[in-house]
Amino acid sequence: MSTKPSSLSATEAGPASSTSPAPLPPLRRRSRTTAVTTSSPCPPAGPAPTAKHPLTAPRGREAQYLRRADSLAAGGQIDKALAHLRKLVAMVPHSPHGYLRIATLLRRERRPDEALDALREAARCAPDSLAPHEALAETYLETGRWDAAVHEARLLLKLSPRSLFARDVLSAAYLQKGLLDRALSVTNEMIRLDPSDATNHFKRGVLLQQKGLVGAAVQAFSRVLDMDPDPEVAEESQAALEMLDGYQIRQILTLAVEEVPFRLRLLRDPCEAIAERGYLLSDEGLSALAQVGFDDLPQAPPGWRHYLYH
């Protein structure tokens, strides 16, 4: 799955849009451990075995089938690759590798329901392996099955209690279900486990923004920019800060027009004046506010737009 932060856009949602779920957040890469373990043999899922289709096959034969399927898929012959893999799982019904390959091709072909069936078989054959459960969780998210994604993520956490991928799934599913507090709690766990990942801090900023906690969101996005993030994460964070600063500055200037004492406090100590009213601007937002001509406010609409970020 793509790791672009733009799929969880802070600027699209606005300062507080908890009434509607945000776009699907990006997931981190799955576990580097891709080996599938079969702690116990998986019973066959069809007719009783026969001499023609025994339950077991030499490991070398299974590897040959997998290599041949990979070669067919690489050549664009997806249907032939799928047929080859189905022969494999007919011969070796307890082969999670075969089911995982089938699911990968079906997902590539945008046939998620069939892919889920294959992944469930893989998980049945290797219940203690991370790979089938991770792919299941990811596919449930892609197809909007939020409850199933939550269930699968919890299974993953039992298998791997420190799994960041499982927490990423949980946070994404909770966000889509509108459970912002749970999503934020899980994201905070991710930051605790991996404090150096700027994307986690970005996601925290978006969730805080969704909850209407503008000042806390400003702090989170500012923290992202201090961490030397990937260019796309930096761009999204900068755009979010500009939007949140503009949102607050409009309110600050409206108050300055309506309340002369507040305007005087702004002239003397803008940081203290806005803090008293619960506002928190980024450094660039404070610089933009400092350039506003307060003496002109009663005669003209707020002029902050002409001074922002130049």
272-277 mean pLDDT: 93
Question: How far apart are the C-alpha atoms of 122 and 96, rounded to whole Å?
Answer: 4
| pLDDT tens digits, one per residue of 13-43 | 555 543 344 444 456 656 543 444 333 344 4
Whole-prediction pTM: 0.74
Contacts of 130 (CB under 8 A, 6+ apart): 30, 31, 33, 156, 159, 160, 163
Q: What is the pLDDT of residue 204?
A: 96
Confidence of residue 118 (pLDDT cuts 50, 70, 90): very high
Question: How far apart are the C-alpha atoms of 41 and 260, rounded to whole Å?
Answer: 78
Q: What is the pLDDT of residue 59?
A: 64
Mean of all residue pLDDT scores within the chain: 82
Confidence of residue 110 (pLDDT cuts 50, 70, 90): very high
| pLDDT tens digits, one per residue of 47-79 | 433 334 444 445 678 888 899 999 898 999 999
